[in-house]
Amino acid sequence: MSRTRNKKRNGGKVIAVLLAVAVLGGGVTACGYASRNDADEWYKNPDFSTWHWTDNAPQGETGDVQNGGNVNTPGENNAAVVGGSEISEIKNNGVTVYKAALPRAAFKAMGVSEQAESAFTLTAEVSPSYASDKSLNWNDLAFLDSESEWATGKEVTDYVTVTPSANGEQAVLACLQDFGEPIVLTVSSVSNPEVCATCYIDYYQRVKSCEFAFFYNGAEVAANKVDGVYKFDYTGAEKNYTAELRPVYSNYTLTDTYTTTINGAFSSAFGFEVVGGLDSLKLPAGLSGGEPELSAAAAAYCNSVTPMCNSYEVANRTFNLVAQKYDNLTSEEKQHPRVICYHNAALTLNPAAYSESAAQAKAIINNYAPPVFTYVGGATFATYNDFVAAVNRCNNSGVGVIEYTLTINGAHSNFTTTLSLGYGALAVNVQDVNLSDNNVAF
């Protein structure tokens, strides 16, 4: 019976699956294993009395899956994972083989290098107990295809080692590093090598590290990385810099399916709590909302109103001039919230009751609250300079504005990394200009 194996099979850590064992008193039985049917499913080989592919073997005599259990192809579903979940015992023709993950604390005592990635023990119990020679040879270890592109020129023992116990009934299988070609361990009877068991060793795809690519307005851009923070220019545009996660994978013989969870938070130096989700990798290039930019004419109008509120002489002398400035504004300029506020203040001024009306006009101006700037995560800023102060606190503390935690979850391994995004130094805008005296007479 032939065995077909895909070089990259669906399935992150080392696994070993015992295919079939037949070590019977004085008899000889060739190694065997389960077969695929026309539906491409694994099923029980009728030539053997026990199920070969599932750790949780069905209880029925026919080998059908009971109670919704899983039938395992090599390296899939509930197959034994070194350093992972509990490993169940598997019974095969005349021999019971127990597989157990070896905890790292036991590496030294069991002769496993502490630099090894993972290890487990294989224990063979030969039946019948009165067999004349129950000694086993565990040392037949090789790549499944030693001439494959990945395996050519490589030594299998640089990746997996097997160390039998003194009595030969047990061996420690250790994975030293990731590998890209399946490895086969054949355990055979010393007295009759044709009586054997075969263990196929695979390596699940794992994430070793992560890289990132950054984009702005559809084009890839470079980021300046300082103190572990990727920093970008503040453009003022209501667009986002976006990041693309690019995992770097180990060598592997079995693929894994991954899902990525993203959780973003503002750094404590930024001074805000996230109230909205930060579940995508982005950094705004500018603030949204806020007070629209004032045109030169609108700014000149607003700047002429304040002196009128501070001096009756100025108000009396410039009232018509200021009114003319307002009339010359466009309809769009007149709709600016600051212009509306200052115009209301100017209309409040009454030369007949100047002191009282000037106080009212000043109150209108002083109570003006520009529309807030909005930012991701629910943060708001009254002014652009407030945002600058928050960014500069982050830069001075060597942290990002947004700290993303990314958890990449696979069926057989997990990987967590962080991504810190921030801005370069930002300039503080001039907010106001005041003269010491608005009315000078010579």
Q: How confident is the model at residue 169 (pLDDT cuts 50, 70, 90)?
A: confident
Average of per-residue pLDDT across 21-46: 35
Q: Which tokens in the block code for residue 102?
A: 């070896």
Q: Is the pLDDT of residue 71 over 80?
A: no
pLDDT tier at 339 (50, 70, 90 boundaries)? very high
pLDDT mean over 385-394: 94
What's the pLDDT score for residue 26?
A: 28
> Does 27 score more than 90 pLDDT?
no
pLDDT of 89: 32
Do the bridges between strand 136-143 and strand 183-189 make them parallel or antiparallel, or are there none, so unpaired? antiparallel
Q: Residues 87-94: what's their mean pLDDT? A: 36
For residues 419 and 247, give the distance between their C-alpha atoms in angstroms, rounded to a whole number. 13
Burial of 215 (0-12, 13-18, 19+ CB in 10 A): middle
Of residues 255 and 74, more confidently modeled: 255
| Mean pLDDT score across all residues of the chain | 77
> According to the 3-state scheme, what is the secondary structure of the chain?
CCCCCCCCEECCCEEEEEEEECCCCCCCCCCCCCEECCCCCEECCCCCCCCCCCCCCCCCCCCCCCCCCCCCCCCCCCCCECCCCCCCCEEECCEEEEEEECCHHHCCCCCCCCCCCEEEEEEEEECCCCCCCCCEEEEEEEECCCCCCCCCCCCHHHCEEEEECCCCCEEEEEECCCCCCCEEEEEEECCCCCCEEEEEEEEECCEEEEEEEEEECCEEECCEEECCEEEECCCCCCCEEEEEEEEEECCCCEECCCEEEEEEEECHHHCCCCCCCCCCCEEECCCEECCCCCCHHHHHHHHHHHHHHHCHHHHHHHHHHHHHHHHCCCHHHHCCHHHHHHHHHHHHCCHHHHHHHHHHHHHHHHCCCCCCEECHHHCEECCHHHHHHHHHHHHHHCCCCEEEEEEEECCCCEEEEEEEEEECCCCCCCCCCCCCCCCCCC
Per-residue pLDDT at 37 exceeds 70: no
Least confident of 55-64, 144-153, 215-224, 422-431: 55-64
Asked which of 48-52, 92-96, 389-393 is least confident by mean pLDDT, the reply is 48-52
**pLDDT reading at 8 higher than 70:** no
Instruction: Categorize the per-residue pLDDT at 415 as very low, low, confident or very high, splitting at 50, 70 and 90.
Output: very high
Stretch 81-92: mean pLDDT: 32
111 token code pair:
């002769």
Side chain identity at 187, as an amino acid letter?
Answer: V
Q: Mean pLDDT throughout 189-194?
A: 78
* More confident call, 411 vs 19: 411
89 closest CA partner among 136, 44, 57: 57
Q: Is the pLDDT of residue 157 over 60?
A: yes
What does the pLDDT look like over 208-253, one tens digit per residue? 999 999 999 999 999 999 999 999 999 989 899 999 999 999 999 8
Work out the pLDDT band at 127, boundaries 50, 70, 90: low
The predicted model gives 128-147 an average pLDDT of: 86
- Render pLDDT for 293-311 as a digit per residue (tens, 0 to 9): 899 999 999 999 999 999 9
Average pLDDT over every residue of 124-140? 79
Mean pLDDT of 364-381: 93
pLDDT at 359 over 80: yes
What pLDDT does 40 receive? 40
Q: Is 322 or 80 the better-scoring residue by pLDDT?
A: 322
- The predicted structure's pLDDT at residue 195: 73
Order of strands across the sheet that contains 288-289: 288-289, 373-374, 380-381
Percent of the chain with pLDDT over 90: 48
Q: What is the pLDDT, as a whole number, of residue 378?
A: 92
For residues 375 and 284, the answer to whether their CB atoms sit within 8 Å is: yes
Of the pLDDT bands very low, low, confident and very high (cuts 50, 70, 90), residue 57 is very low
| pLDDT on residue 96 | 57
Whether residue 74 has pLDDT greater than 50: no
